[in-house]
Amino acid sequence: MGVVMFYHLTRSSLAETVAALATRALAQEWRVLVRGTNPAALDRLDGQLWLGPEDGFLPHGREGGPHDADQPVLIGQGGPVNGAQALALIDGAEPTAEEIAGAERVWILFDGADEARLATARAQWKALTGAGVSAQYWSEEGGRWEKKAESG
């Protein structure tokens, strides 16, 4: 069973954080699914990742193409059809118990300036830790990512 890691975004953008986490996952030879609830936000993230630095290109694709199963990083609203071992959840997307059990990592990323997303993340933390899932809370308020809490 993987660890669920909550990332409270206060300085880095969503695209920067997804790129950093996905790059580390790919270095471990894990595939990644980035799942959200808002198609327009997923399209924006996809576009931002294409505009990343040339030397830091993140191989990825948007869900719905003929090669979804082959994508190292797949961005969409569905399940891990690409065999993802890491799952990045944005815009309040929820993990299933099966996904948590089968993943190496589950990242829940949320914007600290968005009260609704903050409330959703708090509810997710409470539900997951209450169910006995190992979870970590990471914040970048000091200018770099720091683990602030751990459960399980």
Q: Which residue has the higher pLDDT, 98 or 143?
A: 98
Number of domains comprising the chain: 1
CA–CA distance, 27 with 9 (Å, rounded to integer): 23
* pLDDT tier, 42 (very low <50, low <70, confident <90, very high otherwise): very high
In DSSP terms, 4 is beta-bridged to 106, 135
Task: Give the sheet arrangement for strand 73-76, strand by strand.
Answer: 61-62, 73-76, 32-35, 86-89, 105-111, 3-9, 135-139, 146-151
What's the Cα-to-Cα distance from 59 to each of 74, 128, 145, rounded to whole Å? 9, 31, 24
Average pLDDT in the chain: 94
pLDDT above 70: residue 111: yes
Domain span at residue 111? 3-151
Q: pLDDT tens, 43-84?
A: 999 999 988 776 778 999 999 999 999 999 999 999 999 999
Helix, strand or coil, per DSSP, at residue 36: coil
Mean pLDDT of 83-112: 96
**How much of the chain, in percent, has pLDDT values that exceed 70?**
98
CA–CA distance, 119 with 114 (Å, rounded to integer): 9
pLDDT above 70: residue 1: no
CATH number of the domain to which 10 belongs: 3.40.50.10110
How far is Cα of residue 44 from the mean position of the Cα atoms in its chain?
15
